[in-house]
Chains A and B, each alone.
Chain A
Amino acid sequence: MGSEMKVPTMAELFASGKQPEVLFWVGCAGSFDDRAKKITKAFVKILTKANVSFAVLGTEESCTGDPAKRAGNEFLFQMQAVTNIEVMNGYGVNKVVTACPHCFNTLKNEYPGLGGNYQVLHHTQFLKQLLDEGRISLEGGSFKGKRITFHDPCYLGRANNVYEAPRELIRKLDAELVEMKSCRSHGLCCGAGGAQMFKEPEKGDKDINVERTEQALETNPEIIAAACPFCNTMMTDGVKSKEKENNIAVMDIAELIAKAGDL
């Protein structure tokens, strides 16, 4: 099925004098992490189905610099940012969509000051737009009546006040959206932000993802919905640590939608 996937690059479109509606910023996790690649593909399937003209940067994409910046390496962050901005401005990019809230936050909030001004959307916002414009239709299908709890990614929720787009998409699947005790602006972090994804946690009496998974399990979900590749990893690990991986799936919103549409 992978071979059928058409994923044009900005370079290819540029060569034929074309400009896509939107640049899909895949991100490092979406490009390299085996679990996150599935999210990337699910999102591409939806874009294709909806006839969205999109392109990726492919080998011209590089880390936004988010983890470097949060780790305190402003220098490395700005080197990455300036390089990426040069590439995107070279292609005249206007609109960017990404399935990673960390890339989303950095591109949206921190690139403008360095000369990168784009309309940046998280994929849940973009999917919501497609839905509102009637470019995709959502029917619950396999998710009808399923108990789904949504884990707010910090960099989507608190950091950028996007709480409703992912929830509306879940509701549109006719699923039963159940909230954890800490949700929306009080959502508990999965433990991966601020470059924690790439290091061992400090000494404590519990891992943060386990704490968050326990909150999720309290809602008795069939599916834990995520909207961030790092949250996805952390919650998946948390569910495994509770030996619930056979009963509870951790899925990205894009995967839910793609699966509901039999894509």
Chain B
Amino acid sequence: MEYLPNILFALILTAGIVFFARNVKKLIRNIKLGKAIEVNDNKPQRWTNMVRIALGQSKMVVRPIPGILHLLVYVGFIIINLEVLEIIIDGLLGTHRIFAGLGSLYDILIASFEILAFLVIVAVIVFWIRRNIIKLQRFMNPEMKGWPKNDANMILYIELVLMFLFLTMNAADFKLQQLGVAHYVEAGSFPISQFMVPFFDGLSTQTLLIIERSAWWLHIVGILFFLNYLYYSKHLHILLAFPNTYYGKLEPKGKLENLGSVTAEVRLMMDPDADPFAAPTEDSSTAEADTSEPEKFGASDVTDLNWVQLLNAYTCTECGRCTSECPANLTGKKLSPRKIMMDTRDRLEEVGKNLDANQGKFVDDGKQLLDDYITREELWACTSCNACTEACPVSIDPLSIIIDMRQYLVMEQSAAPSDLNNMMGNIENNGAPWPFNQMDRLNWKDES
């Protein structure tokens, strides 16, 4: 029975990792429901972007207060994870503070973990106040009601509890070390948890052991729970920010991709030798692109979007910096770039669950991204100004989704607002968005 804790630990650890892996697999499958596109150009620039934007948090600190607070939590979690390594080894081998042999280096490490844990607690409390007391505008938009709000607070609570458990574990350990209890070698330096030690005065060794063990177990189980909470939460950004910034747009923000399927048709139309009545040939030797299957223009559902756009959706952590800079949203229109991303993710999740429930085959549920999630009113309110893409700290591109959905509305449904139909009719007929004759284009030079 001596090995019972080790076995139990190994089981819990395995369960946590297996369950997480299962969710990661599902995540990858869902992202791959998007259209295939090649995004492997200019790798050095992509790595640079990832290092600068995700690892280096360069866009977070554009807003200094949340930027620095976020940096604390981010650095805290990365560094404190070193401690998790020790916990896992201890748990599996039944050792206690196996790295204690590092001597003074160990003291420094534990001390820095403690200080970071304290800073994380401070940052998390400020974050909570910003969301729940100050009620910053960007956390109060309509799309933040219900689950998104609870999810955000839940993350803060979990982080708070984890840090508190970590410090409690250290404090009890420190007290046990002072008491010279066997197994509790004197190791580590406890600049923060030393202040918790007085609370343990007068407790029996037995009680202290229970406190220390409970905190240790709850801490590691809590971490495994948090790992598995990610998939169900906006918090996936802690992992996906890295690939997302890697695959982010490298070209000027103003550049929209030219649709290849349209180019093929336009070329055919402009070709004086093309026979408009020719039957489509099986071999596409004459056509530049493969036009055998008429491609749907634009996007009405998540599977019409490309996989980077779907990755974007899972990466979004709903911070709302995009929405707080969106001119349409600022002036009371329904459009919120954050909601575009949230809707895309929610619909993608729904499609994923549909696949799970039907042995991997999608069964029509009579729903789609357009209208059931994102309304036309939202899509038409966008000025394509790129404030949202500029504001996003992790290179998400809501604008590309808006444009793809407009393409569907216009090219598949002819459902543009009538003003825009007039504008497009004018361009078609006289080469200008207004009803002026192209032959009058140079009249200005003779007008005074």
> Which residues of A come within 8 Å of B, CB atoms?
1-3, 5, 7, 9, 26, 28, 30-33, 37, 40-41, 44, 56, 58-59, 61-63, 65, 67-76, 78-83, 86, 105, 108-110, 113-114, 154-155, 158-161, 185-186, 188-189, 191-208, 210-212
Q: Which residues in A have their C-beta under 8 angstroms from that of B253?
A: 158-160
In contact, B385 and A194 (Cβ under 8 angstroms):
yes
Residue B239 at the chain A interface, CB threshold 8 Å: no
Q: Which of A68, A78, A194 contacts B383 (CB 8 A)?
A: A194
In the assembled complex, the CB of A17 is this many whole angstroms from the nearest CB of chain B, namely 22
6 A-B pairs with least C-beta separation: A159-B254, A194-B384, A72-B406, A62-B431, A205-B332, A204-B332
Residue B447 at the chain A interface, CB threshold 8 Å: yes
In contact, B442 and A63 (Cβ under 8 angstroms):
no
Residue B407 at the chain A interface, CB threshold 8 Å: yes
A28 to B325, CA, bound (A): 29
Selecting from B37-45, B127-135, B414-422, the interface stretch reads: B414-422
A79 to B384, CA, bound (A): 21
Residue B230 at the chain A interface, CB threshold 8 Å: no
In contact, B444 and A37 (Cβ under 8 angstroms):
yes
Question: Given contacts A79-B266, A158-B385, is CB(A110)–CB(B433) below 8 Å?
Answer: no
User: How many A-B pairs fall under 8 Å by CB?
Assistant: 231
In contact, A67 and B423 (Cβ under 8 angstroms):
yes
Q: Which of A63, A78, A210 contacts B258 (CB 8 A)?
A: A78
A40 to B442, CA, bound (A): 11
In contact, A202 and B444 (Cβ under 8 angstroms):
no
In contact, A159 and B252 (Cβ under 8 angstroms):
yes
Indicate with 1 or 0, residue by residue over B371-408, a CB within 8 angstroms of chain A CB atoms. Answer: 00000010011111111011000000000000101111
In contact, B439 and A59 (Cβ under 8 angstroms):
yes
Q: Which residues in B have their C-beta under 8 angstroms from that of A28?
A: 431-434
Q: Which of A7, A160, A189 contacts B445 (CB 8 A)?
A: A7
Q: Which residues in B have their C-beta under 8 angstroms from that of A212?
A: 327
Residue B362 at the chain A interface, CB threshold 8 Å: no
Q: Which of A3, A30, A161, A206 contacts B252 (CB 8 A)?
A: A161
In contact, B266 and A75 (Cβ under 8 angstroms):
yes
In contact, B441 and A199 (Cβ under 8 angstroms):
no
A204 to B432, CA, bound (A): 29
Q: Which residues in A have their C-beta under 8 angstroms from that of B2?
A: none
A73 to B424, CA, bound (A): 8
In contact, B409 and A68 (Cβ under 8 angstroms):
no
A70 to B252, CA, bound (A): 16
Residue B279 at the chain A interface, CB threshold 8 Å: no
In contact, B258 and A74 (Cβ under 8 angstroms):
yes
In contact, B390 and A75 (Cβ under 8 angstroms):
no
In contact, A78 and B266 (Cβ under 8 angstroms):
yes
In contact, B420 and A154 (Cβ under 8 angstroms):
no
15 A–B contacts from the bound complex (CB under 8 Å): A2-B447, A31-B432, A71-B420, A74-B407, A78-B258, A83-B270, A109-B252, A158-B254, A158-B387, A188-B330, A192-B383, A193-B383, A193-B384, A202-B334, A204-B331
Residue of B nearest to A84 (CB): B431
Residue B145 at the chain A interface, CB threshold 8 Å: no
Residue B298 at the chain A interface, CB threshold 8 Å: yes
Residue B436 at the chain A interface, CB threshold 8 Å: yes
In contact, B254 and A155 (Cβ under 8 angstroms):
yes
Question: Given contacts A71-B410, A74-B258, A109-B255, is CB(A203)–CB(B333) below 8 Å?
Answer: yes
Question: Given contacts A37-B444, A186-B325, A198-B420, is CB(A78)–CB(B432) below 8 Å?
Answer: no
Q: Which of B383, B390, B439, B445 contacts A208 (CB 8 A)?
A: B383
